[in-house]
Structure formats: structure tokens, C-alpha cells
Amino acid sequence: MEFLQQKVIEDGVVIDGSILKVDSFLNHQIDAQLMNEIGKNLFETYKDKNITKILTIEASGIAPAIMAALHFNVPCLFAKKAQPSTLTEEIYSTEIHSYTKNKTNHVIISKKFLNEDDRVLIIDDFLANGEAALGLYSLVKQAGASCQGVGIVIEKSFQKGRQRLINEGLNVTSLCRIASLDNNQVTLVGE
Ligand code: 5GP
């Protein structure tokens, strides 16, 4: 995804040598065309896996996840960080520590939207230490469903997330991989 890499280099803003701010196209204002390309790319990678559901976490995972869901023609389910009063049915839940907010969220999904017949593709905007993806994988396992892969828009490869997911036996597909944010400069893997 050359266009995504170009966007990351041109429009990404590095904070404290470890956080990449991409609020002009992914985390606040959203580039719909780019999200569509991301969805299409993940579809091409996982189209033979009989995916029945896309799973992400609110809020920033939803944009790429819903575009992927459109290409797979399956529902997009997102884990919620708080249990709304309208959600009274049984739930699967887990704890996810947020890397950027330094806060642990209790996240939930309704049991009625995930079951043992589901073949899930997990999607998120970033992969850092793998907390979000592993938390989503825990929800998949609680439901008895299978995880066919993890699709990530931007992976910070200098953090341990990818290795932790691989250690769990998961397939990881990252569309843009960052080797370093040292000196507040983006260096992509392979550069
Ligand atoms: P992990 O759970 O893998 O440690 O971190 C991934 C989650 O933290 C993503 O859901 C994302 O929202 C957030 N995150 C981690 N690193 C960054 C970053 O550099 N920039 C932004 N915008 N979000 C990040």
C-alpha cells in the first residue's frame, strides 16, 4: 500500500519518538477513499478464508473495519469500551490496556453477535504492544469462534505486538510497517 505509506510519511506527526498522530486521515478526519483501499487490500489477502465477521474496537478501528466488511459482505462488529444501559443481554468481556491513553478499559461485545461458527478477521488502526488485538482475540476465543487473521493499518514494528500475536499462532497482515520513530522521524521497515 504505497499510497498509505506516502500518507504516513507526509501527514503523520510523531510525538515523543513513540506515538504517530494520523488524525488528518485515520483517527479524527477520515480519508474514505484510503479506507476503501485498505478494506479492498485486506479482502484480497483473506478472501479465501471464508470470513463471516470483522471484529474491531471502538473508535478508531471502525473506519478500516467497516470498509473491509463491505468488501467481504459480512457484518462489522466492534467491541465497546463501556456497557450502555441498552445492552442488557449476555456479554463476552475482557480488559484492554490502551497504549496511548495509559488506561485499562473493560471492553464488551454481546454474545448474540459472535458464535462458534464465526470465522473472524480482527482489524485495528494500529499495532503497538498487541494489547487491543489480543483482547479482541480473547473475545473470539470466549465465543468459540476462530480467528483467521489480524489486519492492521499501521504497525509499529519496533514494539512487541507482532511477535506476541505470532506467538499466539495468529496470521498478521500490516499494511504499513514502521521501523522507527526515533528523532521524531518516520522510518518504514525496509527503508
Ligand atoms: P496496542 O494495543 O497494540 O498496544 O496498541 C494499539 C492501540 O493503541 C490501537 O487501538 C491504537 O488506537 C492505539 N495506538 C497505539 N499506538 C498508537 C500510535 O502511535 N498512534 C495512534 N494514533 N494510536 C496508537
20 lines ligand 1 (CB under 6 A): yes
Mean pLDDT, rounded, for 40-57: 98
How many alpha carbons lie under 13 Å from residue 162 in its C-beta half-sphere? Answer: 17
> How far does the centroid of ligand 1 lie from the alpha carbon of residue 67, in Å?
19
> 88: pLDDT confidence band, cut at 50, 70 and 90?
confident
Q: Which residues contact 172 (CB under 8 A, 6 or more apart)?
A: 127, 149, 150, 152, 155, 162, 165, 166
Q: Is the CB of 31 under 6 A from ligand 1?
A: no
Strands, sheet with 119-127, edge to edge from the N-terminal-most edge strand: 76-79, 53-57, 119-127, 146-156, 172-180, 187-188
Q: In terms of DSSP bridges, do strands 146-156 and 76-79 run parallel, antiparallel, or are they unpaired?
A: unpaired
**pLDDT of 84 higher than 90:** no
Find, among 70, 18, 19, 22, the residue nearest to 43 by Cα. 70
Is the Cβ atom of 124 under 6 angstroms away from ligand 1? yes
Residue that the C-alpha cell 496511548 belongs to: 100
Residue 19 near ligand 1, beta carbon < 6 Å: yes
**Please, which pLDDT band fits residue 82 given cuts at 50, 70 and 90?**
confident
Between the CA of 84 and the centroid of ligand 1 the distance, in Å, is 24
Q: How far is CA 81 from the centre of its chain?
A: 15
Mean pLDDT of 112-134: 98
The pTM for the full model equals 0.97
pLDDT at 86: 80
Q: Does residue 60's CB lie within 6 angstroms of at least one atom of ligand 1?
A: yes
Q: How close is the Cα of 189 to the center of ligand 1, in Å? A: 18
Using the predicted structure, report yes or no on whether residue 133 has a pLDDT greater than 90: yes
Q: Is the CB of 131 under 6 A from ligand 1?
A: yes
3-state helix, strand, coil in the chain (%, to 5): 35, 35, 35
- The β-bridge partners of 72 are none
Count the Cβ atoms, other than its own, within 10 Å of residue 183: 8
Run of H or E including 37: helix 32-46
pLDDT band at 85 (very low <50, low <70, confident <90, very high): confident
Distance between CA atoms of 70 and 11, rounded to whole angstroms? 26
